[in-house]
Amino acid sequence: MKYDVIVIGCGFAGSVIAERFASQSNKKVLILEKRSHIGGNMYDFIDDNGVRYHEYGPHIFHTNSKDVVDYLSNFTEWYPYEHRVLGLIQGKKVPIPFNLTSIEQCFEHDKAEKLKQVLVEAYGMDTKVPILRLKENPNEEVKELADFIYENVFKYYTMKQWGLTPEEIDPGVTARVPVLVGRDDRYFQDKYQCMPKNGYTAIFENMLKHENIEVRLNVDAHEHLRVDIQENKVYFDNEEFTGTVIFTGAVDDLLNYEFGDLSYRSLEFDKQTHDGTYQEVATVNYPTPAEMNGYTRITEYKLMMETYPLEKTTIAVEYPYAYNRKADKGNIPYYPIFTSEDKEKYEMYCDKIKGITNLHVVGRLADYKYYNMDQIVARALMVYKNIK
């Protein structure tokens, strides 16, 4: 097969663009994937307990974009699922994001009623307030509540997850889990909240079964692809490739870490089997000091399934790590760290490759952005449209 498009990486970014070029533009597409499976971090499978397990942490589909839902519906059926999370706060498991019900569970009745009143007066009912904005409120009672939430919900969870305090990371990160002035106990409030009936891997199988797509697994792209900055050309198997190249990996890796490593956070999972059901909801957060609980959350995967086995259950205890590509643990980059130094370094890498007009970087790692699934699907669809 002579290829028109070469895609590096087989997650949503690469797979969506590959599918569009194959089905809509009749292009021959080659995908190179270094892992032994398709689907990137969305890879899932049915384990020995009959539970659909997410290998790289829980993935819950939610979006306000009908276009994204309509596109993915070409490759899957859905079942409705609204994710709920509890957080361990002073020995009690209360709703996360922190809301009016959480206040009632954390404070005595009279105190809770007063705090709810001042919060609603300050921001209105059914609103979302980022914690750092809440802390800036001059009202003493609101500030007292903000300090409590900061200390018990955000501070230690953020320090474990990111290795930084909430003030040291991009405000957009803490804004992803705001304080809710209302009763909605769902983790997300998007219009569409659902899970694929046959799992995420099946979506990718359906996307990539087109006759114009070839997928090679267990392949290091560096063995086939070479970027020549001086000539502004891409070489595939030592021959100039003039077709479209989509790179979805880390740009520092693409350029052999010329300006140094970009910073990421990584994760490791302790997968366990238990009898019956382990916890009250699919995910319980542990926003406690690291010396109390070294992990950030526990996910019970069968509680995210449409129907699930009763006898056994599978949980994953999630431990954050500082990313180190050479380490035995923490060697998978999950989340970009948005410090000013890393942003500058990322821009240096982008400037280096901007002269290569047939090379396009797209994806959470390639764009160095914290995308949700729906956001990266929308981004990939737009990249395809722009290239086409």
Tokens 């542990």 label which residue? 286
Nearest C-alpha neighbor of 5 from the set 203, 225, 218, 207: 225
- Rounded to whole angstroms, the Cα distance separating 154 from 185 reads 17
- Rounded to whole angstroms, the Cα distance separating 199 from 288 reads 32
Paired strand residues for 380: none
Which sequence spans correspond to the domains of the chain?
A: 5-79+195-257+339-387, 96-181
Are 252 and 260 in contact, with CB atoms under 8 Å apart? yes
Paired strand residues for 45: 53
Cβ–Cβ contacts within 10 Å for residue 247, how many? 26
Nearest C-alpha neighbor of 229 from the set 317, 139, 116, 353: 353
Q: Does the structural domain 5-79+195-257+339-387 have CATH classification 3.30.70.120?
A: no
Nearest C-alpha neighbor of 245 from the set 218, 227, 223, 231: 227
| Token couple for 72 | 């993915």
| Token couple for 39 | 């689907």
Spans in the chain with pLDDT lower than 50: none
Per-residue pLDDT tens for 200-234?
999 999 999 999 999 999 999 999 999 999 999 99
Q: Phi then psi for 226, rounded to 5 degrees?
A: -135, 130
- Rounded to whole angstroms, the Cα distance separating 194 from 82 reads 7
What does each C-alpha distance from 290 to 163, 293, 300 come to in angstroms? Answer: 11, 5, 21
Instruction: Report which residue type is found at 331.
Output: N
- Rounded to whole angstroms, the Cα distance separating 285 from 62 reads 19
pLDDT score of 338: 78
pLDDT score of 339: 82
| Token couple for 382 | 């737009």
| Token couple for 73 | 């519906």
pLDDT score of 348: 97
pLDDT score of 1: 62
